[in-house]
Chains A and B, each alone.
Chain A
Amino acid sequence: QVQLQESGPGLVKPSGTLSLTCAVAGDSISSSYWWSWVRQSPGKGLEWIGEIYHIGITNYNPSLKSRVTMSIDKSKNQFSLKLTSLTAADTAVYFCARRTSQPIFLDNWGQGARVTVSS
């Protein structure tokens, strides 16, 4: 059974940078899956942030693309999200998830990391 676990600070300052990591257990980060980030806030519902493949290919949501960077650490079997220039609108629960290639769906999710942007 695949398990994903997000980690990172729960409180970040406006204009700062959010850094989250997702540790993967029960599967190799180099397998044939895409590793995704999704966030959920009361105001905007569920929002797909983007995804990364183990060879470094990324797909980002255009609405966030200028502020997002995703990376993979094969040695630690984990992947990461950086989101810059934070505002209160970035306050949300951030989920990491595994995306299958064919058929396509998000089949395993982490429990979520609550992030608040506030001074």
Chain B
Amino acid sequence: AIQLTQSPSSLSASVGDKVTITCRASEDIRSGLGWYQQKAGKPPELLIYDASSLKSGVPGRFSGSGSGTDFTLTVSRLQPEDFAIYFCQQFNSYPLTFGGGTKVEIK
């Protein structure tokens, strides 16, 4: 199975900061990666698919980039509602796998 390694596992940031989360795949997954946001007690919600495509309705401050094995999720100006856990997931091959998550906390 393809392993996804996210870093950092947690970070502290302030409202208005730019935040970058990385996801590294154990093998080439082309652009088959999605990013999700999860808040306490809720299911994950899709933000980005195909590595860089923004899901309709998701604020433009979220962006994704990368291909192959290295991917990035960027939040350009962190808002109060963005404090959550972020996960990457690969869709290139079975079994589908998730990264371990990055918790974004308020500084």
Contact = CB atoms under 8 A, between A and B. Distances in A.
Interface of A: 45-48, 59-63, 95, 97, 103-107, 109-112
Contacts of A109: 43-45
Contacts of B53: 103
Interface residues of B, number: 23
Given A46-B98, A48-B97, A104 B91 contact: yes
Interface of B: 1, 32, 34, 36, 42-46, 49-50, 53, 55, 87, 89, 91, 94-98, 100-101
B98 A48 contact: yes
Contacts of A61: 95
Given A59-B95, A97-B43, 12 more contacts: A45-B98, A45-B100, A46-B44, A46-B87, A46-B89, A48-B89, A48-B97, A103-B49, A106-B34, A107-B46, A110-B43, A111-B42
A45 B34 contact: no
A49 B29 CA distance: 20
Contacts of B43: 95, 97, 109-112
A106 B101 contact: no
Contacts of B32: 104
A68 to B, nearest CB: 11
A3 to B, nearest CB: 12
B50 A103 contact: yes
A105 B100 contact: no
A61 B1 CA distance: 9
A107 B53 CA distance: 13
